[in-house]
Amino acid sequence: MRFASSFFDRASQALNRSPAFSKLIVVFAVSSGGIVAYADAKSDHVAESSQVSGKKKLVVLGTGWAGMSFLKNVDASLYDVQVVSPRNYFAFTPLLPSVTCGTVEPRSIVEPIRNIVKKNGGVKFWEAECFNVDPVKKKVHCRSNIGTNRDGNGEFTVDYDYLVIALGAKPNTFNTPGVVEHCHFLKEVEDAQKIRRSVMNCFEKACLPNLSEEERRKNLHFVIVGGGPTGVEFAAELHDFVTKDLAKLYPTLKDLVRISVVEAGEHILTMFDKRITKFAEEKFQRDGIEVKTNFRVVKVTDKAITMTNAATGEINVPYGMAVWSTGIGTRPVILDFMKQVGQANRRVLATDEWLRVCNCDGIYALGDCATISQRKVMEDISEIFRVADVDRSGTLTLKEIKDVLDDICERYPQVELYLKSKQMKNFVDLLRDSEGNPLKESKELDIEEFKKALVHVDSQVKMLPATAQVAAQQGNYLAQCFNKMKICEEYPEGPLRIRGSGRHRFRPFRYKHLGQFAPLGGEQTAAQLPGDWISIGHSTQWLWYSIYASKQVSWRTRLLVIGDWTRRFIFGRDSSCI
């Protein structure tokens, strides 16, 4: 043993003197007892270099649209970036309805998160779920299902200087009894795979002998609860799958299939232009897809869905498979965090226009888990007047208003939206003197006249939709802010501070709507694009193909998705239950 000790001492000294042997692992066994010694100097070196460099710890929770966009664009050389997510991949969720029916394969729409960040060197990834955020101690508590610690529970904590919360949302069941137990959701890749297997199981079950026609019809009744984009697209995909592929494999069952879309409102696709809503409802009627509007689901059992309507009252509808797609709800970890930061009465986490969580230091939130709480003009009207009144005369001239006009429009986006809604060319068109005439250069406004001119502007404050497009733009915006944080501390680029002095470091986040699609089956898609341009038909379907292929996060997934579409054109959809 003395020889072994002296050997290890000399080996340790040699390793410390020779960096070239930093990866050397020395294993030595004495008789059957086995003594193992190892040296991994590189890992210690990395930890020490991170501390010596003085980089601030930037922790990102989530690898969805917001988290992925942030990680792709942030400069990891400026921070010690650490990512925590229960899934080690990014999923292109707009194609999930295509996965449910075999149009696209699951692996074609996912990209490992390590592939995404490998070009942005230095990013650390932990596959774990965050179950608690401590804003006071600046710690994130995580739990891993694939590993364990000395306590055997897989829990660990991560310290942070900056925290980016991009945890997304969960399906909203509205506490309807039986939904969680008996309905499918369509939020994750695993959900789409379960739906695909369930559809095929319904057909196989309906093929079994000794079943009555009523039982076969029940097994082949597919109910989609929710008439939003996801529910409508899934209904269209399912209809195409049944009529173009399964009808050939199950010829005796094709006339027994029934697809129903249940919507609590008066119409489906209410977030689209009315022309698209009308076309979608008429097309579904032609295709034989039943659209039940003004129906509210109150209960789901393993055999029937109970729904109510003002005209018909309560009815029970037997079904074979049900998909619940009625919007999103807040995750438990976010609800707990909201209680800690004084937002317990809100439905979703509130941030300011710079995506900073209100009442928190160094915490940002983006994507479906948060919403921007836009400041209202009338809340700050007195401060706006004070900032504009540079000569402290108690009145505003047209020149004084024009000097702060750009800052007002940038700080309060509802101003431009209101001008557009009233078909006004610029802010000055809002201003009127005491007699109601357009303000002239020689005229001045007092504060009451200024308030009167802007009193209706806040009617255009709008909540941003919970879409992938919004989340991706927020992730890119926040990454750019982090990249130029040091520069903007010295040379701020944002608008004037209405409450305080100087300027904001950054320009506030401004969402740019690039349009939205609604695939309606039969190689027809409806599109609502900027400029109030509506396009419906087969040509729009090809536009949808090109845009969705271009939006893939890698060439690998891009080629896989295009390959899946090509395969479907040639061979049809895969009907296996894998």
The residues pairing with 217 across neighbouring beta strands, listed in sequence order, are none
Query: What class is the 179-328+514-571 domain?
Result: alpha beta
pLDDT score recorded for residue 122 = 85
Query: Cα 496 from chain centroid?
Result: 31
- Contact between 109 and 92 under an 8 Å Cβ cutoff? The reply is yes
Query: Mean pLDDT by 10-residue block, N- to C-terminus, for the chain (578 residues)?
Result: 44 44 34 34 37 81 97 95 96 97 96 91 92 97 77 85 97 97 97 97 96 96 97 98 96 96 97 96 97 97 96 95 96 97 94 95 96 94 93 90 90 90 80 63 82 90 93 98 96 93 94 95 95 92 97 96 97 87
SS3 466: coil
SS3 531: coil
Of the candidates 274, 369, 337, 427, the residue with the CA atom closest to the CA atom of residue 134: 337
Q: Beginning with the edge strand found earlier in the chain, give each strand of the sheet holding 155-159 in spatial order.
A: 129-134, 139-143, 155-159
Distance between CA atoms of residues 115 and 119, nearest Å: 8
pLDDT score recorded for residue 151 = 60
| CB-based contacts of 259, cutoff 8 Å, min separation 6 | 222, 224, 235, 238, 239, 242, 288, 289, 290
pTM for the predicted model, two decimal places: 0.87
State the Cα angle at 339 between 485 and 353, rounded to 5°: 30
CA-derived radius of gyration, the chain? 29
Q: Tokens for 489, please give them.
A: 């501390």
Please provide the distance, in angstroms rounded to a whole number, between the alpha carbons at the two ends of the chain.
Answer: 58
Distance between CA atoms of residues 373 and 346, nearest Å: 11
Distance between CA atoms of residues 224 and 262, nearest Å: 6
β-pairing verdict for 304-309 and 258-263: unpaired
* Helix, strand and coil in the chain, % to nearest 5: 40, 20, 35
Phi, psi of 291 (to 5 degrees): -110, 110
Distance between CA atoms of residues 366 and 167, nearest Å: 8
- Contact between 41 and 22 under an 8 Å Cβ cutoff? The reply is yes
pLDDT score recorded for residue 46 = 35
All CATH 1.10.238 domain ranges in the chain, comma separated? 378-460
- Locus of tokens 């900027």: 530
β-pairing verdict for 524-529 and 533-537: antiparallel
The residues pairing with 133 across neighbouring beta strands, listed in sequence order, are 140
pLDDT score recorded for residue 437 = 64
Distance between CA atoms of residues 554 and 550, nearest Å: 9
The residues pairing with 208 across neighbouring beta strands, listed in sequence order, are none
State the Cα angle at 169 between 414 and 520, rounded to 5°: 80
- Contact between 139 and 160 under an 8 Å Cβ cutoff? The reply is yes
- Contact between 438 and 432 under an 8 Å Cβ cutoff? The reply is yes
Distance between CA atoms of residues 65 and 472, nearest Å: 5
Distance between CA atoms of residues 405 and 515, nearest Å: 29
Q: Tokens for 440, please give them.
A: 């002239």
pLDDT score recorded for residue 28 = 31
pLDDT score recorded for residue 6 = 46
Of the candidates 196, 18, 8, the residue with the CA atom closest to the CA atom of residue 98: 196
Of the candidates 113, 195, 98, the residue with the CA atom closest to the CA atom of residue 562: 98
Distance between CA atoms of residues 511 and 263, nearest Å: 29
All CATH 3.50.50.100 domain ranges in the chain, comma separated? 179-328+514-571
| CB-based contacts of 140, cutoff 8 Å, min separation 6 | 59, 61, 84, 130, 132, 133, 134, 157, 158, 159, 160, 163
pLDDT score recorded for residue 49 = 39
CA dihedral (284, 289, 291, 292) in degrees, to 10, reads 170
HSE at residue 69, side-chain half, CA atoms within 13 A, is 21
Query: What class is the 378-460 domain?
Result: mainly alpha
Q: What is the 3 state secondary structure string of 165-229?
A: ECCCCEECCCCCCCHHHHCECCCCHHHHHHHHHHHHHHHHHHHCCCCCHHHHHHHCEEEEECCCH
SS3 354: coil
pLDDT score recorded for residue 148 = 60
- Contact between 401 and 428 under an 8 Å Cβ cutoff? The reply is yes
DSSP state, residue 431: -
Distance between CA atoms of residues 395 and 403, nearest Å: 14
Phi, psi of 169 (to 5 degrees): -140, 175
Distance between CA atoms of residues 286 and 283, nearest Å: 5
Distance between CA atoms of residues 242 and 263, nearest Å: 22
Q: Tokens for 502, please give them.
A: 């100087």
